[in-house]
Amino acid sequence: MAIFKGAGVAIITPFYEDGSVNYEKLGELLEFQIANGSDAVIICGTTGEASTLTHEEHLECIKYTINKVNKRIPVVAGTGSNCTDTAIYLSQEAEKYGADGLLVVTPYYNKATQKGLIAHYTAVAESVSIPIIMYNVPSRTGCNILPETAVTLAKNVKNIVGIKEASGNIAQVAKLAQLAQGCIDIYSGNDEQVVPLLSLGGLGVISVLSNVAPRETHDMVAKFLEGDVKGSLDIQLKAIPLIDQLFCEVNPIPVKAALNMMGMEAGTLRMPLTEIEDVHKENLKKAMQEFGITIK
């Protein structure tokens, strides 16, 4: 049984101007996502700036989200770390709070061999009972989960059930799907490749775009899964210029700027991330307006 099918939002973490977490605004963003059809919420991932949250803030964001959402849609907690013991600690705490699943990124900086990835994910998974989605994003971590490794883990560790594939390598995803034969749920980690990944048997997307266009992102996946491939593709292609601008600088710099332009008060960023460049902001604003998003 999949943790979710459809569009899961990789939600931002809103901050006050002093850099502290704005939980009230996080609650408003969660309600916005639920009201507009998001199929799941992923808290404390890359887009949520988890790497600059303290452990206390990280866990409080997870706990707050689980309580606020209150089982209306699945909550997947980002609990990965480059330290296996830390990933285990965060994962066990998230399970205690009632998370529906975990998103566990590959170890970054120190990286790992494929043997190390198997050991790391096995240790984390065996420390909890809730399902785990592995997160493969080599551009950020310098570490790639090979298809053979993902399948080995899915077949041998009962609660490793999915993978967020953000390698950008469709050939790799195709090989994964061929080897897996349905033993692992595949989610797109790239908003510009949702339809291609769905065509390979994927179940949905863990999306940055959904922060600003939740209804359209939901519909893109729902239409495909319902058999309306053309309708799904139309949304995908229409969204490409906006997606390009949402990644014109490192995520989540542009998406936070976009939310602020929408009047959503996402707040500032934590260093080393800095505010979007003026020229990029103007291009982003234009793309948002052309997509039909109201600027306030």
In angstroms, what CA-CA distances link 149 with 78, 134, 171, 179, 185? 21, 11, 16, 10, 14
Residue entry with tokens 């994962």: 91
Q: Which of 63, 135, 223, 256 is flagged as catalytic?
A: 135
- Structural domain boundaries in the chain: 6-226
What is the residue-level pLDDT of the chain in tens, covering all 296 positions?
799 999 999 999 999 999 999 999 999 999 999 999 999 999 999 999 999 999 999 999 999 999 999 999 999 999 999 999 999 999 999 999 999 999 999 999 999 999 999 999 999 999 999 999 999 999 999 999 999 999 999 999 999 999 999 999 999 999 999 999 999 999 999 999 999 999 999 999 999 999 999 999 999 999 999 999 999 999 999 999 999 999 999 999 999 999 999 999 999 999 999 999 999 999 999 999 999 999 98
Active site residue 63: no
Is 135 considered catalytic here? Answer: yes
- 3-state class of 187 per DSSP? strand
- Active-site residue (options: 164, 223, 256, 281): 164
We find that the CATH architecture of domain 6-226 is: Alpha-Beta Barrel (3.20)
C-alpha pair distances (Å), 77 with each of 11, 88, 198, 280: 11, 13, 23, 31
pTM for this predicted structure? 0.97
